[in-house]
Structure 1
Amino acid sequence: MKTLENQTLLYDEDCPLCSLYTTGFVKSGMLDENGRKSYCQLSTEEQNFVDLKRAPNEIALINNETKTVTYGIDSLIKVIGFSFPLIEKIATVKPIHFILKKLYSFVSFNRKVIIPGNVKEENKLQCTPDFNYKYRFLFIGFALTLTSFILFGYSNLIPILPKSNITREIILAFGQIVFQSLFLFKFNKQAVINYAGNLMTVSLFGSLTLMPILILNQFFQLPQTIILGWFGMTVLIMFLEHFRRVKVLKLPFYLSFTWILYRILALLLILNI
């Protein structure tokens, strides 16, 4: 594999996802040993030619020889394309590049709600992306829709529940956002929307965890003990992840218990309709 030398990719050290894939570039040999660097560790000289407003939103690739910088999806295309030229040719075709750029922005602006990490507040430079309402609402809508469809399929595997429909699942998923928001009335709008993004990530994660059972049930008639047991295990994992995220976001701990309360109320409502 060809190594792109004398290039440094700036990453968000508070983002586990960013740390993971930039480490992968170095370990795979796409970048040399000095090919990644935390944005927070930018030198004074580097701060003179790196766009400090753009870099938190679009990962920056510094050419250490020419002191020039590439941003966003173009940085990733340059790194990957150096080892795989065909990928670079395909990715730079205008329609494909446009789609990749939008997908990159979708992930980048939502990375703090997809996989949140603890912020090191002592760092003078913070690699925090701008709060983008469009991409945040798109993410919430995407997670809500996918979650609703998966839960629709899974709930129909449980005979004791009334037959489900997509409308019911969408209402229940959206209802949780509204219900939880009632307990955040003291916080500003961005904090509430940020929490809503994390809430839907937990729901999406839980739904994807249910997918193996949905797939297996297409080939085998699984017993109810497995279906219910898997669902119970998934809820427990979701609760623990929700609790962790609430702590990271420095929000009231009781949100995890109102999260459970809503699910109990929703179940009682479903059983009595």
Structure 2
Amino acid sequence: MFLMKKWVAVAMTVLMSGLLLAGCGSSSSAGDAVQQKIVIGLDDTFAPMGFRDDGGNLVGFDVDMAKEVASRLDMEVEFKPIDWNSKEVELNSKKIDMIWNGLTITKERLEKIAFSKPYMANRQIVVVLSGSDIKTKADLAGKVVGTQEGSSSVDALNAEPEVTGTFKELRTYADFVAVLNELSIGRVEAVVGDEVVLKYYMNKKPGTFAAIEDNFGEEEYGVGLRKDDTELLGKLQGALDAMKADGKSAEISKKWFGEDIVK
């Protein structure tokens, strides 16, 4: 009787172990079917490309574009606000998979990361208070000028030392919201930054700001990825090309800008 009970106990142990192993195998198979996730780094104050609405939700042109691409690639997407001044480090340390937030394609950045094809053109404009005596870049001589730290605006300004060398001071801030606030209260006398961003905020306060005719050059936006993520870059570009062809990118552009400005 004792041997019979011992045999039954052993058999039950083996059976339960088999069930547990089968259960683990099922979970693994289910895990294999889970969608791949891409983590997108952005500056969540960069309206209208990527920013928080009154409810704290991340919205914007680039956010909508990224969601559409993820949907077409059957991927889950996560948006991660980052320090814009450290964006390449965040990307190459694999804390994020893409930088998608009005990222200008520059020679210096091309040395560190890969880019999609350009999807939008932009200019670096000069914004002043309405009624300002600043009408040209030459009028910036002796003035305090502000811009966003780590932005392509800094590169654009550095490319024209004959102009920036005449400034009284060049101040950098965490984001363009802060820079425009400084302009509003007179701590800076002009702001240099992305046209698509600055004009968005200008339109929210009609009559407060004005853009002068001179600018610090044209540029193009692209999506940044790690140089070794060639397969992901190919999938991304394929989705972007398809969205351009079927009119989806134009639809998203009209939602945010009132017209199709996608390249």
**TM-score higher than 0.5 here?**
no
The answer to which structure has the higher strand fraction is: 2
Pick 1 or 2: higher relative contact order, CA cutoff 8 A, min separation 6. Answer: 2
Under a length normalisation based on structure 1, what TM-score does the superposition of the two structures give? 0.26
Q: Which has the larger radius of gyration?
A: 2
